Amino acid sequence: MVKTLQPVSWQAEEYIVRDHNFWWYVGLFVVAAGLSVLAVLFQGWTFLILIILSVVTILVYSLRPPRTINYQLDNKGLKEENKLHSYEDFRSFGILKEGEHYSAILIPKKRLGLQVKIYFPEGSGEGIVDQLGNHLPMEEVKPDFLDKIVNFLRI
């Protein structure tokens, strides 16, 4: 039976800001230049365009500050700004600690569904876990392959 709990509200940035020093940008351009040379040698023009678009996208996202998002958990689900994620769409949740940052990961019922990852301050963690645990089972989560790549590349 689901208990009625008080809604939990908080604000958090949409992603973790990672430091990018001069050498990170040099490395990005060296890798892009190397892949571009290979694309030209093998006449992979589509691959060359993909490399250029990827570098531009990485630069835009690395220079753009994250938005602060308003979250609320209540008996209906997770409200992310004006978008509602219903508990019915998820089979479970897990908590992940990345350095000093905490996140809740909602795992979808659908095989090809997307996980929802929300960051939260440590002080809000108990209320968030209580509210999620009231509606979904908790399971252990680990960073997936894409998370490991993103952390390694500091994107």
Give per-residue pLDDT as tens, 78-101. 999 889 999 999 999 999 988 788
Residue 34 has pLDDT above 80, yes or no: yes
Two tokens, residue 7: 């809604």
Q: Which residue has the tokens 């001069």?
A: 22
pTM of the entire predicted model: 0.77
Indicate if 73 and 147 belong to the same structural domain. yes
Indicate if 135 and 149 belong to the same structural domain. yes
pLDDT at 2: 61
Q: Does residue 130 sit within a domain?
A: yes
Q: What is the DSSP secondary-structure string of 2-31?
A: PPP---EEEEEESS------HHHHHHHHHH
Indicate if 86 and 149 belong to the same structural domain. yes
